[in-house]
């Protein structure tokens, strides 16, 4: 909403620089987007001139040499406009004037003749679009009169970002009322208090009729009739005002409707009455797929919820949004029907959204206007119709109205305001603020009853709403103290899951992996690129019905895709290696978490979440993680490199992970595993399938993804119990075990642990050997064992006994000890 400051000052003049006023508006009412300047930066050196004579320029056909009286002097001005004529009163810029573009006007020689100033067109004043001719002033000011006494042409304009509840501030008078409320500067009487004299013939109902078929969507429809209308351009002051307010001047009638809307916030629409058969208007909903061409020349198709203003032949306008061409006011119009209606805001919003058509009118109607505003706008417009178009107002207003909304009276307890705001506002101040805002206030002790005025009817209905009114006008910035709540009966802390999620993320970061954050809306092609087959839940993502683009139309079912994207992005930009992880959610239609909780997709609230969202931790490495140095070569980032990271993660959480070979469509079939935590599946680890790597232009990549809820649920963190490991020494032994090649290491270790019994506290594989010494098809695994008893020093005999037992359990899997 653009508010020219001079227009605002007509109704409330706070005596402030515009910057000060903008600050106050922002702090008391609504956001101020910026302060604009329309026209030249200063009105200095712009005056009224009288053209005394016009002669053809001796050396240029299109130029005239004019003698112009500008007050005390007469000066020669060269002018290019075809319509300049002796006797005209015109706007003149004298040398030294700063033009709207910022350049200073000097004396210029035009084809040998010195021009001592410039006669201005509307476009040059930024007051209109007419570039061809000079602006001719209608009234009869004396030559030399400063131009700003006639026209708001060097205008400062406030551009407000009005919040959607404040439809009153979509009108200049509404903004003036706010300025009045927070500065106390007097407010001029409302411009609609006086109506025009009705001097036309007959009654409005003799000329026109209105039938509202949908009263719930059109609570009020008023119409006035004007005869003897002369269509023409608006006077310069009106054009200037509209331009400053961001509107294009069209003709006097249309400009009047815009002026009245900008002043009252109630939109209006003018019909050429002679083009409405019998003056009969019908307000109805559209037939499905009904069509009409709007004023902008576009043919539009409606659905059954759109409300149309129709004449006998069909639609002539979309209610509250835009008129049609059939009964548009034109140069030949002599009778005008002025429609001022109230529409159902939600219906207007829906139709405007569906059509993709917004207008100044729909922007106001969609916020819901009170029916009383219709007559405000009728009165403002009627006076101008009479004044500017020579029109005669026909007596009577056609007024089809449903029952008006009941009066709304709200009580404000001063104590309640203080309790909610934490600042005290004296009851007499509360009353004063509300009265300035247009509420009718009655006071009883510390309680006020306030009747809500029409312009605030749909925004204010409860005590809390009144508290906001008095609080903001009083001024949060000046009066609101800063305190802290003292009501909490609980301390703040992170949950165990939140602490351990941070720990898990930190382990990966400390292992050299960069934490990334990627977009969770992905391309439908992703499951295919990851080779996920139909029937896999991850290949059936949750879809957005109204995506912005196909690339972001489905929720990710795995973190792998975005990890691959980011890897490729960075490799393409010169990174030699990338190690990435993301801690975030994946989304599928159904699923369940054994562990539950927010990380497992179980959230607070009575209604369950409509999808299954599990928090995952996923990592991807491409290239050697550690840069080669002069001492160490680079190490390949293969399955075991990443498994080492997984092991570190498990160790930091105190969780035992079990890996079992398992094929995944997107992983190398021989280098892929599923990860089990406490017997439950919790994710996967593997080298990315070469075909998937190729999709992302990668040579080789390794990745894992884990469900955090399960991982964290299995962690003993916080419940660890002290164990005496220092009083009695441990005994260490190394074993070399030869088994067949196809016996997995985990089975060998399992056999060792089984044979070792309680005394065997750990068994770690530290070497793998294949070669002549163990024979074809066999391998040798070296394990380091630690035996310990909590209550005694172990004897050699005890350890030797365990070793024998291990020999036996190894025998069961075909393993032998290399002595």
* Residue 274: CB minimum distance to another protein, A: 34
Identify the residue among 511, 558, 637, 715 touching another protein (CB under 8 A): 511
Nearer to another protein, 23 or 67 (CB): 23
* Residue 633: CB minimum distance to another protein, A: 12
How many binding residues for another protein (CB under 8 A)?
A: 118
Q: How far apart are CA 418 and CA 162, in angstroms?
A: 27
**8 A C-beta contact, residue 248 and residue 129:** yes
- Per CB under 8 A, contacts with another protein among 174-193 are none
* Residue 416: CB minimum distance to another protein, A: 9
For residue 573, state whether it binds another protein (rule: CB under 8 A). Answer: yes
* Residue 372: CB minimum distance to another protein, A: 15
Q: How far apart are CA 268 and CA 254, in angstroms?
A: 9
* Residue 38: CB minimum distance to another protein, A: 21
Identify the residue among 465, 680, 681, 798 touching another protein (CB under 8 A): 465
Stretch that binds another protein, among 109-117, 565-573, 702-710, 811-819 (CB under 8 A): 565-573
How far is Cα of residue 800 from the mean position of the Cα atoms in its chain?
73
For residue 777, state whether it binds another protein (rule: CB under 8 A). Answer: no
Q: How far apart are CA 555 and CA 526, in angstroms?
A: 11
Nearer to another protein, 64 or 705 (CB): 705
- Per CB under 8 A, contacts with another protein among 358-377 are 366-368
The set of residues, in sequence order, having a beta carbon less than 8 Å from that of 17 and lying 6+ positions away, is: none
* Residue 53: CB minimum distance to another protein, A: 50
- Per CB under 8 A, contacts with another protein among 121-160 are none
Identify the residue among 18, 54, 401, 542 touching another protein (CB under 8 A): 542
- Output Rg (C-alpha) for the chain, integer angstroms: 41
For residue 36, state whether it binds another protein (rule: CB under 8 A). Answer: no
Identify the residue among 134, 341, 508, 650 touching another protein (CB under 8 A): 508
Q: Among all chains, which residue has been given the structure tokens 């998937």?
A: 692
**8 A C-beta contact, residue 147 and residue 153:** yes
For residue 509, state whether it binds another protein (rule: CB under 8 A). Answer: yes
For residue 545, state whether it binds another protein (rule: CB under 8 A). Answer: yes
For residue 640, state whether it binds another protein (rule: CB under 8 A). Answer: no
Phi, psi of 444 (to 5 degrees): -135, 110
* Residue 151: CB minimum distance to another protein, A: 31
Nearer to another protein, 268 or 619 (CB): 619
Stretch that binds another protein, among 29-37, 91-99, 112-120, 651-659 (CB under 8 A): 29-37
For residue 535, state whether it binds another protein (rule: CB under 8 A). Answer: no
For residue 505, state whether it binds another protein (rule: CB under 8 A). Answer: yes
Nearer to another protein, 256 or 614 (CB): 614
For residue 691, state whether it binds another protein (rule: CB under 8 A). Answer: no
Nearer to another protein, 379 or 707 (CB): 707
Degrees to nearest 5, angle at CA 419 with 418 and 425: 0
Q: How far apart are CA 282 and CA 287, in angstroms?
A: 14
* Residue 518: CB minimum distance to another protein, A: 6
* Residue 446: CB minimum distance to another protein, A: 17
Nearer to another protein, 268 or 508 (CB): 508
* Residue 528: CB minimum distance to another protein, A: 16
Stretch that binds another protein, among 510-518, 682-690, 734-742, 803-811 (CB under 8 A): 510-518
Nearer to another protein, 63 or 579 (CB): 579
For residue 163, state whether it binds another protein (rule: CB under 8 A). Answer: yes
Nearer to another protein, 185 or 641 (CB): 641
Locate 561 and state its tokens: 């895709």
- Per CB under 8 A, contacts with another protein among 318-357 are 344-346, 349-350, 353
- Per CB under 8 A, contacts with another protein among 207-226 are 216, 219
- Helix 18-28 × helix 172-183 angle, to 10°: 90
- Per CB under 8 A, contacts with another protein among 264-323 are none
Q: How far apart are CA 14 and CA 228, in angstroms?
A: 40
Stretch that binds another protein, among 2-10, 513-521, 733-741, 785-793 (CB under 8 A): 513-521
* Residue 615: CB minimum distance to another protein, A: 8
Q: Could you give the 3-state DSSP secondary structure of residue 4?
A: strand
- Per CB under 8 A, contacts with another protein among 405-434 are 419-423
Stretch that binds another protein, among 59-67, 150-158, 519-527, 740-748 (CB under 8 A): 519-527
For residue 37, state whether it binds another protein (rule: CB under 8 A). Answer: no
Identify the residue among 77, 254, 273, 566 touching another protein (CB under 8 A): 566
**E strands within 358-403?**
392-393, 398-401
Instruction: Classify the phi-psi angles of 114: left when phi > 0, otherwise alpha if psi is within -120 to 50, otherwise beta.
Output: beta
Question: In terms of DSSP bridges, do strands 398-401 and 667-677 run parallel, antiparallel, or are they unpaired?
Answer: unpaired
Residue 47, strand partner residues: 92, 146
* Residue 697: CB minimum distance to another protein, A: 17
Nearer to another protein, 280 or 346 (CB): 346
Q: How far apart are CA 21 and CA 19, in angstroms?
A: 5
Q: What is the DSSP string of 464-507?
A: HHHHHHHHHHH-HHHH----------S-----HHHHHHHHHHHH
Q: What is the DSSP string of 195-232?
A: PPP--SSS-HHHH-EEEES-TTT-SEEEEEEEES----
* Residue 701: CB minimum distance to another protein, A: 15
Residue 29: CB atoms within 10 A of its CB come to 22
Q: How far apart are CA 580 and CA 509, in angstroms?
A: 9
- Per CB under 8 A, contacts with another protein among 478-497 are 480-495
Phi, psi of 586 (to 5 degrees): -120, 155
Nearer to another protein, 187 or 467 (CB): 467
Stretch that binds another protein, among 42-50, 100-108, 579-587, 677-685 (CB under 8 A): 579-587
Nearer to another protein, 605 or 718 (CB): 605
- Per CB under 8 A, contacts with another protein among 585-604 are 585, 587, 589-590, 598, 601, 603-604
For residue 635, state whether it binds another protein (rule: CB under 8 A). Answer: no
For residue 513, state whether it binds another protein (rule: CB under 8 A). Answer: yes
Q: Could you give the 3-state DSSP secondary structure of residue 26?
A: helix
* Residue 209: CB minimum distance to another protein, A: 25
Q: How far apart are CA 633 and CA 631, in angstroms?
A: 7
The set of residues, in sequence order, having a beta carbon less than 8 Å from that of 451 and lying 6+ positions away, is: 407, 408, 409, 439, 440, 441
Reference 503, options 762, 716, 684, 674; nearest CA is 716
Please classify residue 679 by burial: count the beta carbons closer than 10 Å to its beta carbon, then call 0-12 exposed, 13-18 middle and 19+ buried.
Answer: exposed
Q: How far apart are CA 61 and CA 80, in angstroms?
A: 9
For residue 436, state whether it binds another protein (rule: CB under 8 A). Answer: no
Q: Could you give the 3-state DSSP secondary structure of residue 253?
A: helix
* Residue 666: CB minimum distance to another protein, A: 20
> What CA dihedral angle connects 384, 389, 390 and 395, to 10 degrees?
-60
**8 A C-beta contact, residue 337 and residue 279:** yes
Reference 698, options 684, 685, 710, 688; nearest CA is 688
Nearer to another protein, 361 or 580 (CB): 580
For residue 476, state whether it binds another protein (rule: CB under 8 A). Answer: yes
**8 A C-beta contact, residue 91 and residue 85:** no
């Amino acid at each position: 909403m653009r508010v020219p400051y001079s227009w605002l000052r007509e109704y409330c003049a706070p005596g402030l620089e515009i910057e000060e006023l903008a600050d106050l508006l922002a702090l008391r009412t609504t956001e101020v987007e910026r302060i604009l300047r329309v026209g030249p930066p200063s009105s200095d050196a712009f005056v009224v001139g009288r053209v005394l004579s016009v002669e053809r320029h001796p050396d240029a056909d299109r130029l005239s040499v004019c003698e112009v009286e500008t007050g005390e002097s007469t000066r020669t001005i060269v002018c290019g406009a075809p319509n300049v004529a002796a006797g005209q009163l015109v706007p003149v810029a004298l040398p030294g004037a700063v033009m709207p573009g910022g350049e200073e006007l000097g004396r210029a020689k035009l084809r040998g003749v010195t021009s001592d100033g410039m006669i201005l067109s509307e476009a040059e004043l930024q007051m209109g679009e007419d570039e061809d001719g000079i602006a001719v002033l209608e009234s009869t000011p004396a030559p030399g009169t400063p131009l700003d006494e006639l026209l708001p042409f060097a205008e400062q304009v406030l551009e407000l970002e009005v919040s959607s509840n404040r439809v009153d501030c979509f009108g200049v008078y509404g903004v003036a009322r706010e300025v009045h409320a927070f500065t106390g500067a007097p407010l001029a009487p409302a411009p609609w208090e006086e109506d025009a004299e009705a001097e036309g013939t007959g009654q409005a109902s003799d000329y026109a009729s209105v039938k509202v078929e949908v009263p719930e969507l059109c609570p009020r429809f008023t119409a006035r009739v004007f005869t003897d209308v002369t269509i023409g351009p608006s006077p310069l002051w009106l054009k200037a005002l509209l331009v400053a307010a961001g509107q294009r001047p069209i003709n006097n009638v249309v400009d009047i409707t815009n002026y009245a809307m900008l002043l009252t916030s109630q939109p209006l629409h003018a019909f050429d009455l002679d083009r409405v058969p019998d003056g009969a208007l019908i307000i109805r909903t559209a037939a499905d797929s009904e069509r009409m061409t709007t004023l902008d020349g576009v043919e539009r198709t409606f659905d059954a919820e759109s409300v149309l203003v129709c004449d006998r032949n069909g639609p002539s306008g979309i209610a509250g949004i835009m008129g049609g061409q059939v009964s548009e006011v034109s140069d030949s119009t002599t009778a005008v029907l002025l429609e001022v209606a109230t529409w159902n805001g939600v219906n207007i919003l829906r139709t405007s959204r569906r059509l993709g058509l917004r207008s100044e009118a729909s922007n106001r109607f969609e916020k819901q206007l009170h029916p009383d505003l219709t007559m405000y706008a009728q009165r403002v417009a009627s006076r101008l119709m009479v004044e500017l178009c020579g029109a005669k107002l026909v007596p009577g207003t056609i007024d089809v109205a449903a029952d008006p909304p009941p009066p709304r009276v709200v009580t404000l307890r001063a104590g309640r305001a203080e309790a909610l705001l934490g600042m005290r506002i004296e009851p007499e101040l509360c009353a004063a603020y509300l009265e300035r805002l247009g509420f009718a206030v009655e006071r009883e002790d510390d309680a006020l009853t306030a009747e809500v005025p029409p312009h605030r009817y749909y925004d204010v209905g409860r005590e809390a709403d009144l508290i906001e009114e008095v609080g903001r006008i009083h001024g949060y910035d000046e009066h609101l103290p800063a305190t802290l709540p003292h009501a909490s009966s609980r301390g703040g802390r992170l949950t165990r899951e939140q602490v351990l999620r941070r720990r898990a993320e930190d382990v990966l970061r400390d292992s050299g992996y960069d934490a990334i954050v990627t977009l969770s809306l992905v391309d439908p092609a992703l499951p295919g690129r990851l080779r996920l087959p139909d029937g896999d839940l991850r290949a059936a993502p949750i879809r957005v019905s109204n995506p912005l683009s196909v690339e972001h139309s489905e929720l990710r079912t795995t973190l792998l895709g975005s990890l691959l994207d980011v890897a490729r992005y960075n490799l393409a930009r010169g990174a030699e290696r990338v190690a990435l992880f993301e801690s975030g959610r994946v989304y599928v239609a159904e699923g369940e978490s054994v562990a539950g909780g927010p990380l497992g997709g179980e959230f607070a609230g009575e209604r369950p979440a409509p999808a299954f969202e599990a928090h995952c931790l996923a990592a991807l490495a491409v290239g050697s993680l550690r840069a080669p140095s002069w001492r160490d070569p680079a190490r390949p980032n293969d399955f075991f490199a990443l498994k080492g990271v997984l092991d570190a993660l498990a160790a930091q959480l105190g969780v035992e992970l079990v890996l079992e070979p398992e094929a995944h469509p997107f992983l190398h079939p021989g280098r892929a595993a599923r990860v089990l935590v406490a017997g439950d599946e919790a994710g996967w680890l593997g080298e990315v399938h070469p075909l998937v790597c190729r999709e992302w232009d990668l040579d080789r990549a390794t990745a894992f993804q884990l469900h955090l809820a399960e991982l964290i649920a299995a962690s003993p963190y916080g419940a660890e119990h002290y164990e005496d490991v220092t009083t009695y020494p441990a005994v260490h032994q190394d074993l070399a075990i030869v088994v067949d090649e196809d016996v997995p290491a985990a089975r060998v270790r399992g056999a060792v642990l089984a044979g070792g019994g309680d005394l065997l506290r750990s068994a770690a594989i530290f070497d793998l050997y294949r070669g002549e010494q163990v024979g074809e098809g066999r391998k040798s695994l070296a394990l380091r064992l630690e035996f310990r008893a909590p209550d005694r020093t172990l004897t050699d005999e005890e350890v030797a006994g365990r070793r024998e037992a291990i020999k036996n359990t190894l025998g069961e899997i075909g393993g032998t000890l290399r002595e």
